[in-house]
Amino acid sequence: MSSPLARAAGPIALVSGLVFAAVDVARLLAADRSLERIEMMRQTPFQVTNALYWLVFIGLTLALVSVYFRFADRAGGLGAVGFCFALAGTLDMAGNMWFDGFAGPWITDVAPGAILAGGSGMLAVGALSSYILFALGWMFFGIAGWRSGMFPMWIGVAFVVAGFLGYNAGLPPYGIPIGLVMAALGWWIIRTGAPAAAASDPAIDGQTASAPPEASPPDS
């Protein structure tokens, strides 16, 4: 029996991907470039959409996990490495987006000069790590998923392109491609009915392994 996440991988990926892309579109529309940077960051639509962007990263992570669970039996070592790489990059970028969505508005109110000063030191290192890991993680996932037979080549190539663009996913609209490719993967799973990995039952396996061999019939 496969896991519930594996069985629902198609709908999870489709919905999560579409919502992810939609929220990044909302971020793009909420950013009023006619205002000064600090004033723009104090606008309610800007703050709400940035907080929502962190939330949809949770959905993107669940979609990635469910897709891997569905194809774990065919992923092999290469697919497992690709999954872990993409997961690490997504979690790293999610932390970055949490900071922007929740810490950013507070810093804007109490220390706006810190926003204008830009990042340096460990803050810059942490931000750069999220950009690089997110981009390379999804690019490698696309290559590994295609080469291991998890999904067709066109989806793998799309993930590579989306990952490359995703280096700037902290800024709209560069998160949209990842969302659309994840949604396309979900649509492909639903349309083709790509089989989920079968999970073995330890109890049944143990009974099978411990069952005595059948006695051969006596010679007549």
Residue 218 CB neighbour total at 10 angstroms = 5
Q: Which of 157, 122, 120, 121 is nearest to 141 (CA)?
A: 157
Identify the residue whose tokens are 């902290």: 170
State the pLDDT confidence band at 134, using cuts at 50, 70 and 90: very high
User: Any idea where the domains of the chain sit in the sequence?
Assistant: 4-195
Mean residue pLDDT of the chain comes to 90
- Flag whether pLDDT at 72 surpasses 70: yes
Whether 21 and 49 have beta carbons less than 8 Å apart is answered as: no
Residue 114 CB neighbour total at 10 angstroms = 12
Q: How far apart are CA 93 and CA 161, in angstroms?
A: 18
Taking residues 150-162, report their average pLDDT.
98
Write down the pLDDT at residue 197: 61
Write down the pLDDT at residue 2: 76
Taking residues 168-187, report their average pLDDT.
98
Q: Is the dihedral of CA 118, 123, 129, 131 positive or negative?
A: negative
b/e burial code for range 183-197 (CB count within 10 A of at least 16 → b): bbbbbbbeeeebebe
